[in-house]
Amino acid sequence: MIDLRLGDCLEIMKTIPDNSVDLVLTSPPYNINLRIRGNEYCRRSPNEQGPCNKYAEFKDSYSIGEYFNIQKLAISEMIRVSKQVFYIIQPLTGNKEALFRLIGNFSEQIKEIIIWDKKHAEPAIMRQVLNSEYEFIIVFDSTTARQRLFENAKFERGTLSNIFRQGHSTERINGHSATFPKDLVSKILINFTAVNSNILDPYMGSGTTGCACKELKRNFIGIEINEKYFKDAERKINNTMENLL
């Protein structure tokens, strides 16, 4: 089952029943267009297309407070509808203050933090800034967060590390360059879900999670607010479905 929905994930998730999803696997916008001048945050102007502007036609420049509140609501809904949430995010100037507040806010629901080692880092956006070669995969769990045991996991003792070494995606789709690799998604699905599990990606983007779900026989609900990305993802997932026939 593939269910793609165009719209605001905060509104659409309200229509999804409690605990009806087996796993949420998503990567939210990183608020990458909020930056610092001197000691103050500022928004990148619409005409200022620099190397860190990853989302075409999307401001991605909320204040720290706005970003915190939006993601707090989104994570709360993800935890409500799902047994577990795999939330992929890179700490950057525009989000790290809000991200660390979110980690504190949801401390009792965090089961694990996996490090995604991307093996190679793109050059930093300016001098005197470290290249960033990793991202967090924060695992939220509403019922068994205090235990490190993943009760329904498919891996054996000593076979899976909490550092995932997986090269980042080079895919560029219609203005969206912040895509993650399908192999990373597949690794999570294979190790933490079963065939016919219900998977939700409320920030569907280019549709990578949906493609992996189709290939691995998982049900998929994808939500995307940007119509251009939605149509591209829909086409990409449909092509995956046709190739499997």
Within 10 angstroms of residue 108's Cβ, the number of other Cβ atoms is 10
| Rounded Cα gap, residues 227 and 117, in angstroms | 31
Pairing type for strands 198-201 and 219-224 reads: parallel
Token representation of residue 193: 């879900």
pTM for this model (two decimals): 0.87
CATH superfamily of 2-244: Vaccinia Virus protein VP39 (3.40.50.150)
Task: Quote the crossing angle between the two packed helices 227-244 and 208-215, to the nearest 10°.
Answer: 20
DSSP 228: H
pLDDT digit of tens for each residue in the chain (245 aa)? 999 999 999 999 999 999 999 999 999 999 887 766 655 666 655 555 444 444 455 567 788 999 999 999 999 999 999 999 999 999 988 899 999 999 999 999 999 999 999 988 778 777 888 888 999 999 999 899 999 999 889 999 999 999 999 876 555 555 545 568 899 999 999 999 999 999 999 999 999 999 999 999 999 999 999 999 999 999 999 888 656 54
The domain ranges of the chain are: 2-244
CA proximity to 227, closest of 1, 5, 29: 5
